[in-house]
Structure 1
Amino acid sequence: MPPSPVTAAVQAALPGARADLERLVRIPSIWADPSHADDTRRSADAVADLARAAGAADVGVIAVEGGAPAVLAHWPAPEGAPTVLLYAHHDVQPTGGDDEWTSPPFEPTERDGRLYARGAADDKAGVMTHLAVLRAFDGRPPVGVTLFIEGEEESGSPTLSALLREHHDALACDVIVIADAGNPAIDVPALTTSLRGLVDVVIEVSMLERPVHSGVYGGPVGDALTALCRTLASLHDDDGEVAVPGLVHGRSDAPEFDEATFRSDVGLLEGVDLIGCGTIPERSWNKPAAAVLGIDAPRVDDSSNVLLPRARAAVSLRLAPGDDAAKARDALTEHLRAHVPWGARVDVRPHHGTAEPFSIDATGAAYDAARRSFAHAFGNDVVETGIGGSIPFIAEFARTFPGAAVLVTGVGDPASRWHGIDESLDLGMFGRGVLAEALLLADLAGSRPGAPTTIPIAVDD
């Protein structure tokens, strides 16, 4: 049986989408690094050009003062059709050390059906998924489309609220599709229905006016780095559970993960224990997680025999669904202050943005359409899953447009190594993701008055 028209159009669009994805990932759009601010602007301009070429009626690169450039583009809705907002982000994480990569992080390289590069999965694949779908419809999608490509998601979206306020009317929609999550396997599609929130703080501990000789004064006088380490150690109990009082700890009915597979996907060293209590899904999706992201202190090679007068660290706290970011940050701050030893002075202040945790009731016509479309494209039923990461846009948009259905999808899988060394994208899954989204738009168009309730889909042999 020949492919359906939508399937054929997607297949025709994929080679160009792959080529443009490679061009995008060559741009090191690390907004969190000020030295890459111009690269991030160049990335936004490149996405805007691709949107114009995909037939957008209007395209703009937008930002608020101090914020990263985002792209906003529109394809008008046919009469009676809903409007769908397609979201992704074009900024990427730092590389974690270029020398650690098997191939250069900003030189896309294919190995065994996967494309390796920073941003190949998170989230320039999401950007190109949307654009490939619009190309498949030859710039005339069957629904109205608003394309919103953010530029600071990896920094916690600190100016997103201001962008939503300033462009409220332009972003209004009936359905939002967020291509910034993952699937449990390359052939198993997922709808993400819960996300953890996020708060970050920087703690600085001070004990001396200046460095002093560790031999002359060590003993009666402590050092700030040791005091900081003792404070940071208080974040977890002996089992590895987060020990900050007042945080929400949830439960999950999701089936337990295979531990050996999970350890392999993570790259956990042999003999290293998992931390915390409960099932792996509970620990990953429904409980808080604390991590020390960085410490300002001398490098080992630069150290000398002095007592350090001050030291500071960045602390990240992921929040379970049902928690409140402001209250959780206050609880974290209070906990850190209470556990600084020896009367050391301490300063704790917010760092980067915050993200509220979020859970979705995945019922209704839009979710039914998504399940049909993704099941057809992937050849397997959709599963509902949680994600331990945070996407600030979701909660922000849900508050701003409470009537919009939110569909959280993605083209990553456990081997994609988001934020890690050798990030990659399975190219077969990328193609299935594009087809799924194209079928979704066609199905959503079928719900308008006077149109059939579903779009007939031929099953490909």
Structure 2
Amino acid sequence: MDLRVVRETVGALWAREALAGLSEFVRIPALSPAFDSDWARRGQLHAAVEQVRSWLAERPIEGARTEIVELPGRTPVLLLDVPARSAATEETVVVYGHLDKQPAAGEWSPGLDPWTPVLKDDRLYGRGAGDDGYAAFAAAVALEASQAAGGSHARTVVLLETGEESGSADLPAYLDHLAPRLGTVGLVVCLDTAGADYERLWLATSLRGIAFADLTVRVLDAGVHSGHGSGIVASSFRVVRQLLDRIEDSATGRTLLPECGAEPPADRLAEVRTAAAEGFLTPTLPLAEGVRTVTDDPVELALNNTWRTTLSVTGAEGLPPLQDAGNVLRPYTSLKLSFRLPPTVDAAAALRAITRVLTSDVPYGARVRIDRAEAASGWNAPPMAGWLTSALDTVSAEVFGKPWRALGLGGTIPFLGQFGHAYPRAQFVVTGPRGPGNNAHVPDEWLHLPQTERVSEALAHILHAHATAA
């Protein structure tokens, strides 16, 4: 494969055509179903799928076919199916992206708008540009550049779902439906994560799982004057505190339930220590004046954020606003509990353990209710094959000029666990051009275009390496 041709083709395609196509995609308010319950009637998700399908269909990629697949009652999926080219393997490569979007999420800066593409200082602003509309265009650019440069690739299927921002609820059904067509999947490339800078290739190698539930503790059928009832009936808030103390050591944040914990494997510890030595571990956070992080050890901070369980209270009911709060012993307290779980923990088992300790032997016989309890397991990348390590080293030298790095992510992306379950023998490359300050999910979302070109170029290298590894 002619590396010079790959680079020139990638640059020309992004400048000429991919940027224009992605800009048109930004204009479509294709909200994910979690934010638009009437999505099917409004047709914006379908409009986004059709816009990207039309762009992909015009690409001169040898043998490529586009298809929209829509199972009854589910969000649509767009496929770009490209036959193998001079490949030494019969495996299939699946390249993942998604076309659904978050809502505007507040006021954008002057001159910017969520549904108006704005190109400024090597950035494309607009909702969906970085999360995750670029993926379709980057995948097509990589395939086109590879073919133009005489490169090889296995059969490659670009799979673009439209429910990722709603938890990818429909994706397992599509993976089952498409399994006979996809055959043996040997490589999964997920273009939907972020790195710690815009200078090198970043791979995500783990994501935490999640369990969440609404906890309600009730002690009265109606509120009473606190002077009349306090000391006779326990405060519902005090009962909540006692219950949570069964799960978390409030002094250290350590989780006390064995079902919720797991030790990081040796390769992940090595990644953390390498990143710590280079200063790439924890995001910059808007700490209030005088507030310290929970430890000064960067390795411990990274492990806390990626391989240890954390409990966050993300909502509450039964507590009136301060200006309306009188001297009342309140009848109940409700809290939304959000647990981030280590990547290898069985999230369903963790949620069962959490529910058990919150509802058993409750102090004072208080009434406890658990509502809207859900869980999703995390993901830990399989051991990396030699051909992939070699390819990443080559990409880092030829494309980025700096060594690639891997990191765990503290969030939860359900589709990765679903892919890991569907393709247990596949190699995974989980990457993307997003980095610090890209503003995914919040106002002023933007995509770093030079890094997007480099990731597209890297993908062409990786596809060629996979196809010729045998």
CA distance in 1, matches of 2:52, 2:354: 38
Q: 1:271 aligns with which of 270, 290, 299?
A: 290
CA distance in 2, matches of 1:245, 1:92: 36
Please name the residue that 1:162 is paired with.
Answer: 173
State, as a whole percentage, how many aligned pairs show the same letter. 26
Unaligned runs of 5+ in 2: none
Matched, 1:47 2:52: yes
Q: Greater shift after overlay, 40-49 or 173-182? A: 40-49
Q: 1:121 aligns with which of 113, 130, 133?
A: 130
Q: Secondary structure of 2:194's partner?
A: coil
- TM-superposed deviation, 1:373: 2.4
- TM-superposed deviation, 1:63: 4.4
Q: 1:287 aligns with which of 275, 299, 308?
A: 308
- TM-superposed deviation, 1:177: 0.8
CA distance in 2, matches of 1:425, 1:35: 28
- TM-superposed deviation, 1:178: 1.0
CA distance in 2, matches of 1:24, 1:171: 27
Tell me which amino acid in the other structure corresponds to 2:22. L
CA distance in 1, matches of 2:51, 2:128: 15
- TM-superposed deviation, 1:318: 1.9
Matched, 1:99 2:107: yes
Tell me which amino acid in the other structure corresponds to 2:288. L
Please name the residue that 1:9 is paired with.
Answer: 9
Please name the residue that 2:350 is paired with.
Answer: 328
Q: Secondary structure of 1:4's partner?
A: helix
CA contact (8 A) 1:196 1:321 kept: yes
Q: 2:257 aligns with which of 205, 222, 245?
A: 245
Tell me which amino acid in the other structure corresponds to 1:379. G
- TM-superposed deviation, 1:286: 1.6
CA, structure 1 residues 44+379, in 2 after alignment: closer, same or farther (shift >3 Å)?
same
Please name the residue that 1:171 is paired with.
Answer: 182
- TM-superposed deviation, 1:236: 4.2
Q: 1:358 aligns with which of 380, 403, 416?
A: 380
Q: 2:152 aligns with which of 138, 142, 155?
A: 142
Q: 2:81 aligns with which of 49, 74, 77?
A: 74
- TM-superposed deviation, 1:313: 4.1
Please name the residue that 1:428 is paired with.
Answer: 450
Please name the residue that 1:386 is paired with.
Answer: 408
- TM-superposed deviation, 1:168: 0.8
Q: Secondary structure of 1:279's partner?
A: helix
CA, structure 1 residues 128+57, in 2 after alignment: closer, same or farther (shift >3 Å)?
closer
Q: Greater shift after overlay, 64-73 or 184-193? A: 64-73
Q: Secondary structure of 2:131's partner?
A: coil
Tell me which amino acid in the other structure corresponds to 1:31. P
- TM-superposed deviation, 1:387: 1.8
Tell me which amino acid in the other structure corresponds to 2:209. G
- TM-superposed deviation, 1:217: 6.5
CA contact (8 A) 1:98 1:105 kept: no
Please name the residue that 1:199 is paired with.
Answer: 211
Q: Greater shift after overlay, 352-361 or 187-196? A: 352-361
Matched, 1:29 2:48: no
Aligned residues between the structures: 445
Matched, 1:319 2:335: no
CA, structure 1 residues 327+145, in 2 after alignment: closer, same or farther (shift >3 Å)?
same
CA RMSD of aligned residues (A): 3.6
- TM-superposed deviation, 1:264: 6.8
Q: Secondary structure of 1:125's partner?
A: helix
Unaligned runs of 5+ in 1: 449-461
- TM-superposed deviation, 1:146: 0.3
Q: Greater shift after overlay, 124-133 or 253-262? A: 253-262
CA contact (8 A) 1:231 1:339 kept: no
Q: Secondary structure of 2:130's partner?
A: coil
CA distance in 1, matches of 2:362, 2:24: 48
- TM-superposed deviation, 1:244: 4.3
CA distance in 1, matches of 2:361, 2:134: 43
